[in-house]
Structure formats: structure tokens, C-alpha cells
Amino acid sequence: MSGGIRLAGYLHLPDDRPGPYPCVVLCHGVSGTMDRLFPNARHFAAGGLAALVFDYRDFGESDGEPRQLVEIEGQQEDIRAAVSFARGHRDLDPARILLWGNSLGGAHVISVAAADPAIRAVVAQIPFNGFPRKVEGRSPWQTLRLQAVVLWDALRGRLGLPPHYIPMVGPPGALAVTATPEADEHIRILSGSGEKTLWRNEIAPRAFLPMSRYRPADAAPHLKMPLLICVAEDDKETPAAQTRPLAEKAPQAELRTYPGTHFGFYNDPTIRHQVLTDQLTFYRHHLAPEN
């Protein structure tokens, strides 16, 4: 439970050694759902770490209304609830809780860990640190259209009306959060190639108003634990230039850069395996007794 809302999640346990286990809590990005993180959880469990994946309120299998609405403070509360669940689980070691976040989840884990010094280590993968000033391939007119629908939906929220949803991903020229020539591929990645999926290609645009003021870099100087930031060279959604200040401001930060785009961490098996292997090595190092 988180703020009176039931959250759904799955706990992956190692099967080749006795507990209690260290546990990494995995947090997905904007509009994401936990099923896209099951391969990550299995990778960590095979490496000896328990892995807890869950859906934020209003998304996937979790409760909450209205649906498909990103609530920054609510999602941070959900992460704290997941951490509390892990600390209280009989098979998990409450002194060895780790955080992992992707995109907006990468911003959240930094913000949450800054207020929880008992977290052992944090991984932020292609983390959000504010919107880029210019989005490649989006004209000024398209930007104005998107800003207008954000303001319109925010007004609907103030009036207690349901969201005016827009697609998360669409082709060039579409009124969507991400409108690229690779839209079909991005949808395939997020939806799981026709598998049963929790992901829906829609989002309440009112969420982007508070997101425009969200800066996890403000929390980064307060981290008491090691931080690993993984970025993509050609990321257009969370550009490395905007992500780098997170590493510069955190006291114990390590920045690693990988080839590819924002979605390469999902759709390129070679990159994904390398990134997860590096992240597991990072966690193991900081779980060692001398650390």
C-alpha cells in the first residue's frame, strides 16, 4: 500500500543460494510498466540479488485514478513504499536495499535516495533531468501544439475533469510526446512485440507541467551512497549533456556512456546485456563487506 493505494509488484529471488538477500528495487520511466523490466529483474536475480519490480499508481496492474497520470510526488511515495516492503520481507536483508531507475525512474531514485541514507547504492539509467530545450525533428508549431494540449489538460485537472489523453509515441508530425520516424519500433519495444503487455500508448499530458520544473540534480549533492549513471551517446529524449550534472553534483558518482539511443537500452541485446552486467558489478562491489 502507498498512500492508501494498492500497488502491484513481483519479487524475483535468487534460486541458488540461501537468504536473506540484498534487494534491488526497479523503477520504470514515463508511461512504462513493470513487465518491460522483468528481463532486468531476472538478470539481477541470476547474479544473486533479489529484484522487486512494481507499477506506479495509475499504471499497469496497480490501482489509482485517473489512469495513465504521472504524479511525481505520488510516484516517489510509491518507491518509498516498495523500499519499506522490501525492508520488511523475511527473505530480504533490510540493510542491503538498492535502487535502480530508468528515465523518469532514474530521476526518482536519486530524489528518494537523497532522503534515505540507508540505501546502499543507486543506479540511474538514462535519467531524466529536465526537458531538452529543443527536440530534434519537432518544429516550433508542433512544440506549440504540444504545449497547448498540456495547458488544456492541466486546466481540465484543475476543474476536476478526466484527462484529455494523447499518445506517448507517434510518427513525425503527430501530436505525441515522442514523435519520431522510429515510432513503430518504439511502440514495439514498449509493448513487448505483441506479447501480453500492461503498457498503453497514451498519457495524461497535464503531468508534463510539473515535470518541466523537476530537477533531480538539486537532490544529487545530498546522496550519501554511491551512484552509477548510465547514458547513451545518441540519446535525444534524455541527452547526456543534461544528465552529466547529476554525476558532477553527486559526491560518489560514476558516469558510464554506451553507444546507441534512448531505446537502445531495451532493443539492442548486446548493449542491454553489457549495461546490466556493469550495473550488477557495481552493486556487488558496493555490497562487499569493506564497503
204 within 8 A of 68, measured Cβ to Cβ: yes
> What pLDDT, on the 0 to 100 scale, is given for residue 136?
65
pLDDT at 236: 82
Domain boundaries, the chain: 9-133+213-287
- pTM greater than 0.75: yes
Q: What is the pLDDT of residue 194?
A: 52
CATH superfamily of 9-133+213-287: Alpha/Beta hydrolase fold, catalytic domain (3.40.50.1820)
Per-residue pLDDT of the chain (291 residues; tens, 9 = 90+): 999 999 999 999 998 778 899 999 999 999 999 999 999 999 999 999 999 999 999 999 999 999 999 999 999 999 999 999 999 999 999 999 999 999 999 999 999 999 999 999 999 999 999 987 776 667 888 889 999 999 999 999 999 999 999 999 888 888 999 887 777 777 777 776 555 678 899 999 999 999 999 999 999 999 999 999 999 998 888 888 889 999 999 999 999 999 988 888 887 889 999 999 999 999 999 998 866
Query: What's the pLDDT score for residue 193?
Result: 54
pLDDT at 140: 83
DSSP run (H or E) holding 170: strand 169-170
DSSP state string for 73-133: HHHHHHHHHHHHHHHH-TTEEEEEEEEEEETHHHHHHHHHHHT-TT--EEEEES---S--S
Asked if 127 contacts 103 with a C-beta cutoff of 8 angstroms, the reply is yes
